[in-house]
């Protein structure tokens, strides 16, 4: 089945630790995105990548890092520099930036 997969669904980490969230797609999409969603808030763009080996900062990139070594994969690392990492993280992909985006099921990260 074609789709976009995020793992794990739930993640718990101690404060001060880096953690990497996985996002894989087999839709052959060029563009991939990471968003953060907090209760009562709209989705906010963290990073996006339009092609392999290239990515751009979104509105709230501080404390996060990404890589795009393969077309299918766009992992997000939440570093210890991120002040409020507890949130729901969503990954998306699209053929191009102007086309419909398909979302993964999200990863809920809790930092204790």
Partner 1 sequence: KNQVEQSPQSLIILEGKNCTLQCNYTVSPFSNLRWYKQDTGRGPVSLTIMTFSENTKSNGRYTATLDADTKQSSLHITASQLSDSASYICVVSGESGGSYIPTFGRGTSLIVHP
Residues that bind partner 1 (CB under 8 A): 6, 35, 40-45, 48, 50, 56, 58, 88, 90, 92, 96-106, 108
The total of other beta-carbon atoms located within 10 Å of residue 83's CB is 7
Nearer Cβ to partner 1 (17/26): 26
Integer angstrom CA distances of residue 97 from 2, 9, 49, 94: 19, 26, 9, 7
Nearer Cβ to partner 1 (1/15): 1
Instruction: Report, in Å, the least distance between residue 75 CB and partner 1.
Output: 17
Instruction: Report, in Å, the least distance between residue 15 CB and partner 1.
Output: 24
Q: What is the DSSP letter of 59?
A: T
Instruction: Report, in Å, the least distance between residue 68 CB and partner 1.
Output: 15
Contact 8, 89 (CB under 8 A): no
Nearer Cβ to partner 1 (8/96): 96
Question: Could you tell me which of 111, 109, 91 has the C-alpha nearest to residue 101?
Answer: 91
């Amino acid at each position: 089945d074609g789709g976009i997969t995020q793992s794990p669904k739930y993640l718990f980490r101690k404060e001060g630790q880096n953690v990497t969230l996985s996002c894989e797609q087999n839709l052959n999409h060029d563009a991939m995105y990471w968003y953060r969603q907090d209760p009562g808030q709209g989705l906010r763009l963290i990073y996006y990548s339009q092609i392999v080996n290239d990515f751009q900062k979104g509105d709230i990139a501080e404390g996060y890092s990404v890589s795009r070594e393969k077309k299918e994969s766009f992992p997000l690392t939440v570093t210890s520099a991120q002040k409020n990492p507890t949130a729901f993280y969503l990954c998306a992909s699209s053929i191009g930036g102007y086309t419909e985006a398909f979302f993964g099921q999200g990863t809920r990260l809790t930092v204790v």
